[in-house]
């Protein structure tokens, strides 16, 4: 029997009107504004507002790498220290709690968060640039494609009914992505607890 999926929210309209418009600020901020057409808040560090053209799933790197192995997709992915940032459709942050409840992860402590409107992520160095800075500075693991609108690459809550249920076992999309991310975050938490227990006994 098909289960209802939380209704998707319409993303905020943050699309660019003139990609090649000259932007002010540092070279990194100008690259994001002129090459990608993304809003960028000059720094240091330069930050990318979320909730406009994309939201961000934030999870541990170990769990994130497992997600990338299990879920097909070409969404941009950044790494900052021990955290992975997966770009997802705008509006995802508001839908994540309900989606986790629907996937029966509600009430489970997961090291998984979503950043939406009002949040900012530190901008990784543009692809091919020298990522100079402190250890753990953000870098693109899977950079955005300057020749492709970012929205076309992002997982979003567009599945309904049987389509969403089928997506749990294969394919891509936000339901599949969140289901696997929750499972891998839970697995990482259990492994960390087991290691800590073993160290205490030793």
Assign 3-class secondary structure to the chain.
CCCCCCCCCCCCCCCCCCCCCCCCCCHHHHHHHHHHCCCCECCCCCEEECCCCCEEEEEEHHHHHHHHHHCCCCCCEEEECCEEEEEECCCHHHHHHHHHHHCCCCCCCCCCEEECCCCEEECCCCCCCCCCCCCCCCEEEECCCCCCCHHHHCCCCCCCHHHHHHHCCCCCCHHHHHHHHHHHHHHHHHHHHHHHHHHHHC
Residue 53 has pLDDT above 80, yes or no: yes
What is the percent of the chain with per-residue pLDDT over 90, rounded to a whole number?
Answer: 60
pLDDT interval class at 105 (50, 70, 90)? very high
Q: Please tell me the pTM assigned to this model.
A: 0.80
The overall average pLDDT reported for the chain is 82
Residue 201 has pLDDT above 90, yes or no: no
pLDDT interval class at 156 (50, 70, 90)? confident
């Amino acid at each position: 029997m098909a289960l209802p999926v939380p209704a998707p929210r319409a993303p905020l309209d943050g699309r660019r009107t003139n990609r090649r418009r000259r932007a002010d600020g540092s070279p990194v901020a100008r690259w994001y504004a002129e090459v990608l057409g993304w809003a960028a808040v000059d720094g240091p560090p330069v930050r990318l507002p979320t909730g406009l053209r994309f939201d961000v799933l934030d999870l541990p790197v170990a769990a994130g790498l497992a997600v990338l192995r299990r879920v097909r997709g070409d969404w941009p992915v950044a790494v900052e220290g021990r955290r992975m940032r997966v770009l997802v459709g705008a509006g995802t942050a508001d839908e994540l709690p309900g989606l986790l409840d629907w996937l029966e992860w509600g009430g489970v402590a997961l090291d998984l968060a979503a950043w939406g409107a009002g949040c900012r992520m530190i901008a990784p160095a543009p692809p091919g640039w020298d990522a100079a800075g402190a250890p753990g500075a953000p870098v693109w693991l899977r950079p955005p494609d300057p020749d492709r609108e970012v929205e076309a690459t992002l997982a979003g809550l567009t599945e309904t009914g049987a389509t969403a249920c089928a997506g749990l076992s294969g394919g891509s999309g936000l339901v599949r992505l969140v289901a696997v991310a929750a499972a891998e975050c839970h697995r990482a938490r259990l492994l960390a607890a087991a290691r800590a227990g073993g160290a205490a006994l030793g």
